[in-house]
Copies of this chain bind each other. A is one copy, B any other.
Amino acid sequence: MYKLITKCGGARCGEFETVHGTVQTPVFMNVGTAAAIKGAVSAPELKDLGCQVELSNTYHLHLRPGDDVVHDMGGLHKFMNWDKPILTDSGGFQVFSLAKLRNIKEEGVYFSSHIDGRKIFMGPEESMRIQSNLASTIAMAFDECIENPCEWDYAKNSSERTARWLERCVNELKKLNSMERTINKHQMLFGINQGGTYEDLRIENMKRIRELDTDGYAIGGLAVGESTEEMYHIIETVEPYMPCDKPRYLMGVGTPVNIIEAVDRGIDFFDCVMPSRNARHGTIFTSSGILNILNAKYERDDTPLDEKCSCPVCRNHSKAYIRHLFKAKELLAMRLSVIHNLYFYNHLMDRIRREINDGTFSDFKRSAVEILGRRV
């Protein structure tokens, strides 16, 4: 289902076909945790922002409103009114970062809900059943996401268990996709590579999970405590062992510069809360660097957030107005900033694809990593 179109150095342009349409890669997925983009942006609006894939969180939707409710409402696409691809994570990351009183066993994880303390068990089969209820386009394998740094022994045991869990995910999803009640009978599955910052574990794990021939492969467990250099190094270590004919997804990354660097190392899929979360605190990504709209120098600045941007916010509103909205604690401040940042990320990916196709990605990268990362 993945078709490689162009390569430029390590960077790849491709097309990924799904039952909900074709995704042009490299792609940045827009995070709508609880079936809504934080900052009061609705799913239908995402199309105008250039979003190709929406990402929702299995753990959150399982707790609220319940995946059974989403199933009864016709699945996530209908529930949130979005007809393009949706990727759901497995719940693994949230179980390990949000839930309380965790107890990890071979069968899965026992934990308490961070909302009401309710005891929950989630293993590979449960995660697949929930994601099948949600009826996303792409389901993610249930994994343990360990924090870096982590002892080699723990990382080894954990990544081996995650590999065994993947096999159970594959088997469970096959069953689910053939069931009458299933809404999306073509739900795909991406396996997740783990192994902390250890080259040997990462490679061993990748060799093992590629045997299971899932629809794509993610690198998980990065951007969770290690340095940026370590992160790039792990990508370089694992990449040669990832199948070329499948999309590669770097989970939870990152800044515009991180994304450009990872594309250069062969990554196709990205997601991150950064554009929306930072927007809600006034941090704005622009074509000339990163700005803090709360800065006093913008009090009377009637120029848009980014002179080169043609998003609905930059076409309609000034820095002075958006700064005022933040100061006055108006929710509209968050909405406008989130819209701009998501548009910026989605159009950065457009640009990246164009540069790869034109064979000019290396030149682009050189200037972009310098400009996009600076504070203005």
Contacts and interface: CB of A to CB of B under 8 A. Distances in A.
B40 A320 contact: no
Interface string A320-364: 110111011011101110000000000000000000000000000
Contacts of A274: none
A41 to B, nearest CB: 7
A327 B65 contact: yes
A44 B315 CA distance: 11
A318 interface: yes
B74 A36 contact: no
- Measured as residues with beta carbon below 8 angstroms from the partner, the interface class of chain A is 35 or more
A155 interface: no
Contacts of A334: 40, 331
Contacts of A81: 316-317, 321
Nearest to A41: B332
Contacts of A44: 316
Nearest to A78: B302
A369 interface: no
Contacts of A5: none
A324 B64 contact: yes
A73 B331 contact: no
A49 B79 CA distance: 24
A274 to B, nearest CB: 18
B39 A328 contact: no
A72 interface: yes
Contacts of A336: 42
A81 B65 CA distance: 37
A320 B80 CA distance: 10
A60 interface: yes
B327 A64 contact: yes
A73 B318 contact: yes
A299 interface: yes
A42 B332 contact: yes
Contact of A324 (B35, B72, B327): B35
A193 to B, nearest CB: 31
A40 to B, nearest CB: 4
A334 B331 CA distance: 10
Interface string A54-80: 000000100011000100111000111
Contacts of A99: none
Between A38, A44, A324, A327, the greatest number of chain B beta carbons within 10 A of the residue's beta carbon is seen for A324
14 contacts: A34-B330, A36-B325, A38-B330, A38-B331, A39-B331, A42-B316, A65-B327, A65-B328, A69-B300, A69-B320, A73-B300, A79-B321, A79-B324, A81-B317
Interface of A: 34-42, 44, 60, 64-65, 69, 72-74, 78-81, 299-300, 302, 316-318, 320-321, 323-325, 327-328, 330-332, 334-336
